[in-house]
Amino acid sequence: MADYDLAIIGGGLNGVSLARDASGRGLRVILVEQGDLGGAASSATPRLVHGDLSVLERRGFWRVRRALAERRIWLRIAPHLVRPMRFVIPAHADERPPWLLRASLFVYDSLTHRGGLPATTTLDITHHPVGNALKRPFGTAFEYSDCIVDDSRLVVLTALDAAERGAVIRTGARCVRADRTDVWRLAVVDRGHRRVITARALANATGGWTSMVAETVLRQPQLPVAATQMSQIIVPRLFESDNVYVFQNDDGRLIFAIPFERDFTLIGTTTRAFTGDPAIVAVSGADVSYLCEAASRYFRESIAPTDVVRAVSGVNVTPASARRGDGTTLFHARRRKAPLITMFGGDVTTSRLRAERAVSRLTPFYPMSPRWTAGAALPGGDFAWDRFDIEVDLARDRWRFLSEPQAQRLVAAYGSRLSAVLGEAKTRDELGPVFGPELTGAEVRYLMIHEWARFPEDVLWRRSKLGLTMSQADRDALAAFMANLNDPPRTG
């Protein structure tokens, strides 16, 4: 008998979504990830949960409708991570004419039941607060509803839900060989120790490494995929409103400017063909300049490459023959051979649905429970999306030492499970040492015990974005604190 029903290689959003779905259906699941959860492209997305206006322009009506249905599901199951926002797109005749934008957004609204989100409106931004940050020539804009998401925390909480349903999640574990008979036999180097795992089915969800893993680890034919690099930049906050700005660039692309971690703005996204090792992907100077120039075309405040405080980039893969943005799942099963799922590409919005459909392909091989993920909240997400501010107030009532920004960050990260982090603390001093203005020893300890954080980068850039504001001295203190927890002193 095999150790597991399903082994998954890769701890990005595709991999953890597979683990969550399969474990919730009663399968014995193990996921191995060579680095950290969401350590590559899954933490470098545009952070949008949306139907995608650019897809609508290409007449992808069914794809947009499906994505908007998923947007509604995400609001229901992850209200702390997925937040509704009003998106503002200035209209001008240089690019898409205003009548075309208005018609597109009418169709966009009609493709979904908004579930409480307001419909599109027309704004005169010369007399509206959203226009304060923009140059005067842009007098008319359209405001519509969509959502943003904390992409890296979505990965971690999806993995946490999978683990609580029985999945084994192993980070720092690299699959170096997989042999296929009636079961899969995996050789895994797990934090320096070699072990063998057997599974009745295998999923390759390694993102930018999909083709390489297929060829060198699974010894399957090389997959004909095309790699695409996605890049964003983070700059000091450019506007006071809570809107997301959508700008039409002169090459037809849509550029987003998104409020980010209170004091910053995220600008993206550029895409370009990529060759090389996804582990060492870096944002090019040309992409930084492109995004700065695109944003400067609209904002009163000019943005230069020297204003960029961080650039983020990741590699996604699509079939070489057809660049499908909604992801690809390949299923290979032959008589007397264990099944193989290869899942790559796609966006955040439809990740849950892709995993649900992929796991369903295994139903002929062993019985499992019905589909379930659309109705089950992620950890901490058991409240209505329009009660987020109430959850913040409740947190401040219980832990009176929290400022409003601190409570907002913590509720956005942990939702209704915040008590598991802060416990019964009455003062901030009870939470242990403090690293920077917000991070406490109690939170770090929680992340290491429950959310697979091993190194400071895991805490500062994926479990949070506190690395944007933390001093080097605090980083060094955090590293020492985590090293001590990883290697506690021996007694006796």
pLDDT of residue 390: 98
pLDDT of residue 324: 53
| Helix, strand, coil content of the chain in percent (nearest 5) | 35, 25, 35
pLDDT of residue 489: 47
- Mean pLDDT per block of 10 residues along the chain (492 residues) reads 96 98 98 96 92 88 94 97 96 84 93 83 92 86 96 98 98 97 96 94 96 94 90 96 93 93 95 91 95 95 96 91 71 89 94 97 92 98 97 98 97 98 97 96 98 97 96 97 76 38
pLDDT of residue 252: 85
pLDDT of residue 23: 98
SS3 55: helix
pLDDT of residue 440: 98
Neighbours of 386 (CB within 10 A): 13
pLDDT of residue 229: 95
pLDDT of residue 336: 82
pLDDT of residue 114: 64
Cα-Cα-Cα-Cα dihedral sign, residues 8, 13, 19, 22? negative
pLDDT of residue 491: 40
d(C-alpha 24, C-alpha 180), whole Å: 26
Q: Which residues contact 421 (CB under 8 A, 6 or more apart)?
A: 410, 414, 442, 443, 446
d(C-alpha 130, C-alpha 158), whole Å: 35
pLDDT of residue 18: 98
pLDDT of residue 490: 42
d(C-alpha 71, C-alpha 75), whole Å: 6
pLDDT of residue 325: 59
Q: Enter the tokens of residue 140.
A: 């008319």
pLDDT of residue 366: 86
CA-nearest of 253, 270, 78 to 160 is 78
